[in-house]
Structure 1
């Protein structure tokens, strides 16, 4: 099949575009595709590994400065003997122990990926997620009670306790009904 643009070279790239609900197929040679600004597979692309490597190289300047001054031995997993630099290069861990070994270096990356959190919490289905959301709220409130008790704010702790009881009652009602 000939290129639809130049009518000279063999069409090696085939694009399907849907614009305003209309399907349009374009058959172009690589030269014409580049001239039109179409994305040509295999050129100027990056792999998921490169993306992760870029994220893993992110560290706070103060941490980097401290590491350069003290020049500690490179972090190495005790189980599989993988170094942090090997992990960055490969893009995956060697074993389960690597998660604990490299935990300190991964926290800044995970905070960026998970919008400020270190853990991924996932999504909750709207139809059946009411109980799950309430349970998460109860767990958060229990932590809040501990904070209030430690700071000796017993009135606030009692209010939170009452709120937890109310939420637990709603959970029991939804389970029964």
Structure 2
């Protein structure tokens, strides 16, 4: 999708504002979003909302966060610099995330609310995790039963653990 401002670059930022039930949205490329942020031309919201817009976009561009990579650090995988990554809004290769991880954290946190993925896992992995969690719980209960000298309970737990481990 093209930028709604310059109509040439690819839109990488989607901005939506809802005031009194009225929704306004913009799709912008990184350059136009940075320019509009600097000029406070994002809609005609109340003056009290302008600092929010500026702070939000500062976070997206990493302007308020850590900028130590301005010194010339580049990705060993693709040779991209932090400045290029920040201007394009896209990581070129997976190593960019490793190289510029600290610089990306404020942006990821502002976009997703967290810096690590906390979404759903694929069904196969979910079943494996449930099995691992169940085994860990059974082993803890087994250790507790042995400590409390409840050997009959411990034997039953041991058999259940063996059954799960064979699956």
TM-score (norm. length: structure 2): 0.39
Bigger radius of gyration among the two: 1
- Higher RCO, Cα 8 Å, sep 6+: 2
Q: Which has the higher helix share?
A: 2
- TM-score, length of structure 1 as denominator length: 0.38
